Amino acid sequence: MKDLADHLFDILENSVKAEATEVKITLGIRDKLFFCKIEDNGNGIKDEDVTDPFVTSRKTRRVGLGLPLLKRAVESTGGSLKIYNSEKKGVILEFKIDIAHIDAKPFGDIARTFIDVIYSWPKVSFDIFFQMEGNKKVSIFSSKEIRKIVSDFDIQQKEVRDFIYDSIDEELKKMGIDSQFGID
């Protein structure tokens, strides 16, 4: 995986495969430290080490490399990765990356990743937040709220998809995440 957007897509796909119907994504940047928290209401994880490449829930092959590759990318910058079951239902995955570190991967097009998951899994509710100083969360996007406003047919229109992409991308840039340039 060449950038953080690829890792995000893989994690969100894991949530969907675990039968999650709601996924909350919280992003933030503080002092050159990028953090991400993904919470879902899926089936949860067993007690095994899910960052072991030979532990996977797949039936088609016996290895799963997404989480081990994320762990390596995170730890190569001095960052951290935590994966645990929620007290309610589902999984919480948190990671931090020193984006100023020489080994840090570029952001990639995170807005495009969010568009891809929203359109790939329309039955899943994706909520994106930015966590500011003092732990205040600001909502960037809610697929559930958009679907209340726009019909299933209209949401498929290129103009609507472009509007959603531009809105998410603009909010990410305000946070300091620019897909073309990395951190501001």
Closest CA to 128 of 108, 142, 146, 144: 142
Looking at per-residue pLDDT, the higher value among 99 and 46 belongs to 99
pLDDT at 135 over 50: yes
Could you list the beta-strand ranges (E) of 2-155. Answer: 22-30, 33-40, 80-85, 91-98, 125-131, 137-142
In degrees rounded to 5, what are phi and psi of residue 21?
-110, -15
**Window from 23-27, 94-98, 99-103, 131-135 with minimum mean pLDDT:** 131-135
Tell me the mean pLDDT in the region 35-62.
Answer: 68
Give me the pLDDT at residue 180, please: 56
Residues ≥6 apart with Cβ < 8 Å to 18: 40, 42, 43, 44, 57, 90, 91
pLDDT at 59 over 60: no
Kindly indicate the confidence band of residue 152, based on its pLDDT and cuts at 50, 70 and 90.
confident
Which domains are delineated in the chain?
4-183 (3.30.565)
Tokens read off for 150:
């726009």
Q: Where are the alpha helices (DSSP H) in the chain?
A: 4-17, 66-75, 110-120, 143-149, 152-155, 158-175
pLDDT at 52 over 70: no
Looking at per-residue pLDDT, the higher value among 147 and 180 belongs to 147
Looking at per-residue pLDDT, the higher value among 94 and 68 belongs to 94
Q: Are 128 and 143 in contact (CB under 8 A)?
A: no
Round to whole Å and give the CA distance between 101 and 37.
20
pLDDT at 110 over 80: yes
Query: 125-131 and 137-142 as β-strands: parallel, antiparallel, unpaired?
Result: antiparallel
Round to whole Å and give the CA distance between 39 and 26.
9
In degrees rounded to 5, what are phi and psi of residue 49?
-75, 105
Give me the pLDDT at residue 51, please: 53
**Mean pLDDT, the chain, as a whole number?**
86
Q: Are 34 and 96 in contact (CB under 8 A)?
A: yes
